[in-house]
């Protein structure tokens, strides 16, 4: 990836303001790009953008290729003639500071169904041709996903292993019947994907033309209840009816006595290698069409992963299994060509093998400043003086508390950390969020990214995700007042001061 000094903001599109209960790809997404330009930011980092399911986590998507229909701008559908201003004149009283997913999904489904009905009944020749072209170009994943989505709707949201056997096991005769029975629902699902990607690519072009690149997020594992697993059972460790035999997680450590049992099915890497990693290559290539740079979550799983028997309720019992990471990234680099625009999420306990895999392919790792102040001495790799140029530094991530929330929480920050941080910067810590933003921007790391919550100085109430907590995640939204009151000049001044602005990078690579 480009190693010129740059900085950016982490903000998932669902967290944008707007009147429809969830951030979308409409007006406020464009205004956020304008904010990035005004404050000299060159990067906008988002979380995975796939369609979510139970729990609303973008890391447990129904498809690694598809887009989240909740992000479709309803206002833009008015511009296409498939909705009217009257349709949108009565919007439920959604909260403006969080996403209330149940009612929001119900409302958006109603509007998207209405838009599809109008499209189906009155599409022009040009619209029909554009829709057909999208379907043809994306058939390699779209056909399976649209059928999966239609069947999941038919079975009232049940996981695919609970469907009728022939449909659950992707048997050709049963699928042909299902495609005929659910033809309208399949077409409607494809319509939503067409609109999502049409709007996404329009927004991406707007950002790229203004010197802003998008950083996406690719979880190493996919959800079991997804079209990816349903349509590619041979690629995963599953039993004869489709249930996982082993699942992903991480072993017990300082933070958890029982480890973390994520439950994602594990890959049959030997089968993938025999197929020259075709599914993975398609996955990364598709992601790099939607974004300019991709962060791979749990990168260490490409070197070795913790395999837990599916019958185990925790991650205590398991084993490390080696993965063919070097072989995979070699094929990926040969296929994509040039330097890989990938950020390696290398947090946690990282072995020499993981570091070698990261460094041999020139991938920047991550440094999180909230993790820098524990321990003794100056050896902590997250401390700014230990950073290397080829890394990405964050004040915190979506899995962390906000920096203000972290600083105020006695379970996370004790007197020792307060004293250590104050000693490090040589003064009393007044505004902790701006202290960490400044430290990130002054780092030798070529890239610095800070969550929007830290720019706004928000507390724990604005936290995006708490790992291990099953409810209340992924719902934070930035209000209009917060966005309008964001400290633009202060952010721009720091960006210029530490050479992360466009003027400091005269040879900025043209946006893709």
Per-residue model confidence as pLDDT tens for the chain (512 residues): 778 999 999 999 999 999 999 999 999 999 999 999 999 999 999 999 999 988 899 999 999 999 999 999 999 999 999 999 999 999 999 999 999 999 999 999 999 999 999 999 999 999 999 999 999 999 999 999 999 999 999 999 999 999 999 999 999 999 999 999 999 999 999 999 999 999 999 999 999 999 999 999 999 999 999 999 999 999 999 999 999 999 999 999 876 889 999 999 999 999 999 999 999 999 999 999 999 999 999 999 999 999 999 999 999 999 999 999 999 999 999 999 888 999 999 998 889 999 999 999 999 999 999 999 987 777 899 999 999 999 999 999 999 999 999 999 999 999 999 999 999 999 999 999 999 999 999 999 999 999 999 999 999 999 999 987 878 899 999 999 999 999 999 999 999 999 999 887 654 433 33
**Cβ atoms 340, 362 nearer than 8 A:** yes
Q: Identify whether residues 251 and 240 lie together within a single domain.
A: yes
Q: Identify whether residues 359 and 378 lie together within a single domain.
A: no
Q: Identify whether residues 442 and 429 lie together within a single domain.
A: yes
Judge whether 39 lies within some domain. no
Q: Identify whether residues 411 and 436 lie together within a single domain.
A: yes
Q: Identify whether residues 333 and 238 lie together within a single domain.
A: yes
Judge whether 51 lies within some domain. no
Q: Identify whether residues 327 and 449 lie together within a single domain.
A: no
DSSP secondary structure, 334-377, as one string: HHH-SS--EEE---SS--HHHHHHHHHTT--EEEEGGGSSSSST
**Amino acid 122: pLDDT:** 93
Judge whether 345 lies within some domain. yes
Encoded tokens for 122: 């009155």
Q: Reduced to 3 DSSP states, what percent helix, strand and coil does the chain have, rounded to the nearest 5?
A: 45, 15, 40
Q: Identify whether residues 374 and 359 lie together within a single domain.
A: no
**Cβ atoms 441, 434 nearer than 8 A:** no
Maximum Cα–Cα distance across the chain: 72
Judge whether 93 lies within some domain. no
**Amino acid 511: pLDDT:** 37
* Ordered strands of the 342-344 beta sheet: 342-344, 293-297, 213-219, 43-45, 6-10, 447-451, 391-394, 365-368
**Amino acid 1: pLDDT:** 73
**Amino acid 379: pLDDT:** 82
Enclosing domain of residue 441: 367-382+396-478
3-class DSSP assignment, residue 304: strand
Q: Identify whether residues 304 and 404 lie together within a single domain.
A: no
Q: Identify whether residues 239 and 358 lie together within a single domain.
A: yes
Judge whether 259 lies within some domain. yes
**Cβ atoms 3, 390 nearer than 8 A:** yes
Q: Identify whether residues 340 and 418 lie together within a single domain.
A: no
Q: What is the DSSP code (8-state) at residue 426? A: T
pTM for the structure as a whole: 0.96
Residue holding tokens 């043809």? 136
Q: Identify whether residues 273 and 316 lie together within a single domain.
A: yes
**Amino acid 509: pLDDT:** 38
Active site residues: 297, 345, 399
Q: Looking at the 3D structure of the chain, how many domains does it have? A: 2
Judge whether 6 lies within some domain. no
């Amino acid at each position: 990836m480009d190693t010129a000094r740059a900085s950016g903001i982490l903000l998932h599109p669902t967290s944008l303001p707007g009147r429809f209960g969830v951030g979308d790809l409409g007006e406020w997404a464009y205004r956020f790009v304008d904010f990035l330009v005004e404050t000299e930011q060159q990067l906008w980092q988002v979380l995975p953008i796939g369609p979510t399911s139970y729990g609303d986590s973008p890391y447990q998507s129904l498809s690694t290729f598809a887009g989240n229909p909740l992000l479709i701008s309803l206002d833009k559908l008015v511009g296409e003639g498939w909705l009217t201003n009257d349709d949108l004149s009565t919007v439920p009283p959604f909260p403006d500071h969080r996403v209330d997913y149940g009612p929001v999904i119900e409302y958006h489904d109603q509007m998207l169904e209405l838009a599809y009905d109008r499209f189906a009944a009155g599409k022009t020749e040009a619209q029909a041709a554009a829709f057909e072209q999208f379907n043809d170009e994306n058939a390699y994943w779209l056909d399976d996903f649209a059928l999966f989505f239609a069947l999941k709707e038919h079975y009232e949201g049940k996981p695919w292993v609970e469907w009728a056997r022939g449909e659950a096991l992707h048997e050709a005769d049963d699928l042909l019947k299902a495609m005929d029975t659910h033809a309208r629902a399949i077409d409607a699902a494809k319509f939503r994907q067409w609109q999502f990607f049409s709007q996404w690519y329009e927004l991406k072009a707007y950002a790229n033309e203004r010197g802003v690149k998008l950083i996406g997020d690719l979880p190493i594992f996919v959800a079991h209840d997804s079209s990816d697993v349903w349509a590619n059972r041979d690629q995963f460790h599953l039993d004869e009816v489709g249930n996982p035999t082993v699942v992903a997680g991480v072993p017990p450590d300082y933070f958890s006595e029982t480890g973390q049992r994520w439950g994602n099915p594990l890959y049959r890497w030997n089968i993938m290698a025999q197929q020259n990693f075709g599914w993975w290559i398609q996955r990364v290539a598709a992601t790099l069409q939607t974004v300019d740079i991709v962060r791979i979550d749990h990168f260490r799983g490409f070197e070795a992963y913790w395999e837990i028997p599916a019958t185990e309720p925790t991650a205590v019992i398991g084993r490390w299994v080696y993965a063919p990471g070097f072989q995979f990234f070699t094929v990926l680099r040969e296929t994509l060509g040039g330097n890989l625009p990938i950020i390696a999420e290398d947090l946690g306990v990282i072995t020499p093998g993981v570091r070698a895999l990261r460094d041999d392919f020139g991938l920047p790792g991550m440094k999180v400043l909230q993790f820098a102040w524990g321990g003794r001495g100056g050896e902590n790799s997250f401390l700014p003086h230990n950073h290397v140029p080829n890394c990405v530094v964050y004040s915190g991530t979506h899995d962390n508390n906000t920096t203000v929330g972290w600083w105020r929480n006695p379970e996370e920050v004790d007197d020792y950390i307060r004293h250590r941080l104050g000693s490090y910067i040589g003064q009393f810590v007044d505004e902790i969020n701006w202290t960490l933003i400044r430290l990130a921007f002054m780092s030798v790391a070529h890239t610095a990214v800070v969550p929007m919550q830290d720019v706004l100085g928000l507390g724990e109430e604005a936290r995006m995700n708490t790992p291990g907590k099953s409810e209340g995640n992924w719902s934070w939204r930035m209000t209009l007042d917060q966005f309008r009151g964001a400290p633009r000049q202060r952010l721009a001044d720091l960006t210029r001061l530490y050479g992360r602005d466009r003027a400091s990078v005269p040879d900025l690579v043209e946006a893709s």
